Amino acid sequence: MITLWAGLRLGAIVAPGNSWWSEPEVEHAVRLISPTLVVGDEARLAKVPEDTTKLDIASLQDPGELQAPPRPPGQEDDPALIVFTAGTTGAPKGVVLGHRSVIANLHNLLVISKRLPHQLDLSRSAPVNLQSGPGFHMGGVQSLLLNLLGGATVVFLSGRFDATEVLELIQRERATVWGAVPTMASRVVEHPDIDSYDLSSIRSISMGGSSVQPRLLDELRKHFPNAARGLSTIYGMTETGGTVASASGALMAEHPSTAGRPLPVCELYIDSPDEHGDGEIVVRTPGQLLGYWGEAQTDLLDADATCTREIRVGWWTACCSSPAGSRT
């Protein structure tokens, strides 16, 4: 988190890496983006090619009274982040998000969570957010930025996801908010000792990354009774800069399998649906990517392209751009 904020403050483009990548995957990412500097711990840096400039985070010292450098000049569409895709159909691609993309996504999330400055109840204590998703994922990046922007306390797992540790941290740290993918939530509610933990502090549970089954919602309401009205689901992509649709409360109660309604200033529609309603999900959002790092920008987005398409065929997902003139 320190290098994320420091890099943005310096005007650098920050590219979070997956700490579970194999050595060939690390080499692919490094060769793709040609980083000026790679910061990590000893175990991760051991996978980085030798001809790369590295910095072991253990060597960093307390900056003491050092003054921050002058804020660099820049434009809203200058690249801010390179976030890698999952690489389910090939090697991970580097999705380039501009400062506009990041800020637009945060604005949207603040609106739907009612955390804009004039909406805050200053008499209530700041939320305590249990961050169980990976920080290199788009969901993790947006959660880190949103919670620090809103003054929340962020609690991290010590390593890989572990259902027992989640339950222990919720109880010990009195977490009020928990975000997870549905498989994580399922592992928690299926924990054999879940009823022995005090989970009453949780007021909100947000899920994304895959569809949420009605049975899982029922189990969450059972084990997290104070979050019964605070269950929500979100939908988005790395290419859209994060979340573009969400559902919570009454909407989820009425339509348990919904991905929600479009967020403010986001447009969604299903293009060419078949008899089952399946088709391309077409999105227009100010948070969308500038392009893929290392690929010619005109091959993906040109001056007139304002939409991002997600094409779903079974469990296969691919992304490409759509010209502005097509049904927006």
The pLDDT of residue 74: 86
- Start-end ranges of CATH 3.40.50.12780 in the chain? 74-323
**Residue 59 gets which letter from DSSP?**
G
Asked if 131 and 144 touch (Cβ cutoff 8 Å), the reply is: yes
The pLDDT of residue 25: 93
Helices (H), 23-176: 23-33, 42-45, 99-112, 138-149, 163-173
The pLDDT of residue 155: 97
- Judging by DSSP bridges, how do beta strands 177-180 and 128-131 pair with one another? parallel
Nearest to 115, CA basis, from 140, 156, 152: 152
* CATH level 3 topology of 74-323: Rossmann fold (3.40.50)
Token pair, residue 155, equals: 């609690």
Nearest to 208, CA basis, from 142, 265, 150, 267: 142
- 8 burial class (0-12, 13-18, 19+ CB within 10 angstroms)? middle
Give the three-class secondary structure for 9: helix
d(CA 233, CA 221): 14
The pLDDT of residue 73: 85
- Judging by DSSP bridges, how do beta strands 291-292 and 305-313 pair with one another? unpaired
Q: What's the pTM?
A: 0.86
**Which residues of the chain fall below pLDDT 70?**
63, 65-66, 87, 296-328
Phi, psi of 214 (to 5 degrees): -55, -35
- 25 burial class (0-12, 13-18, 19+ CB within 10 angstroms)? middle
The total of other beta-carbon atoms located within 10 Å of residue 5's CB is 13
Q: Please give the mean pLDDT across all residues of the chain.
A: 86
d(CA 326, CA 328): 6
The pLDDT of residue 308: 55
